[in-house]
Amino acid sequence: MNLQIISTKDSHVHIAVSGKVSQDGIPRDKEPISSLLGPDAYTLTVLLDLKDTEVIDSSGIGWLLVCHKRFAEKGGRMICYSAPPAVANVFKLMRMDLVFDNAANAAEAEKLAGVNAET
């Protein structure tokens, strides 16, 4: 699993996720999102671009659940978007589509996050 910052604006960050989403090979004391964004990572709104995700396994779902919980505890938010059919099907099969905020594309993810909200 590879994570890369696509863009950062105000209090939201787009992160591209590519490869196999799994905890295989990730040391237990290392958390990929906080390693990438720093100690305040979970206070932000993070938009995860999943379009280059090849597959997600149960440990990858577990990792996303832990991330989701940390965002909720710290006042941030995680929104997944552009999930390819194989990943979207796993989300639906495991009912994660009811847990995670999901969007079809970046524009919808930003709208869901309130980034383009008019006041």
Give the domain CATH number at 42.
3.30.750.24
Q: Structure pTM?
A: 0.89
> How large is the C-alpha radius of gyration of the chain?
13
Host domain of residue 11: 2-107
pLDDT at 107 over 70: yes
> Does residue 86 lie in a domain region?
yes
> Does residue 119 lie in a domain region?
no
> Does residue 63 lie in a domain region?
yes
Quickly count: other Cβ atoms within 10 Å of residue 91's Cβ.
20
How much is the average pLDDT of 73-80?
96
Please report the pLDDT score of residue 116 as a whole number: 59
Confidence of residue 118 (pLDDT cuts 50, 70, 90): very low
Sheet containing strand 77-81, edge to edge, reads 2-9, 12-21, 45-56, 77-81, 101-103
> Does residue 40 lie in a domain region?
yes
The CA–CA distances, whole Å, from 75 to 52, 86, 89, 91 equal 27, 30, 28, 23
Number of domains in the chain: 1
How much is the average pLDDT of 42-57?
96
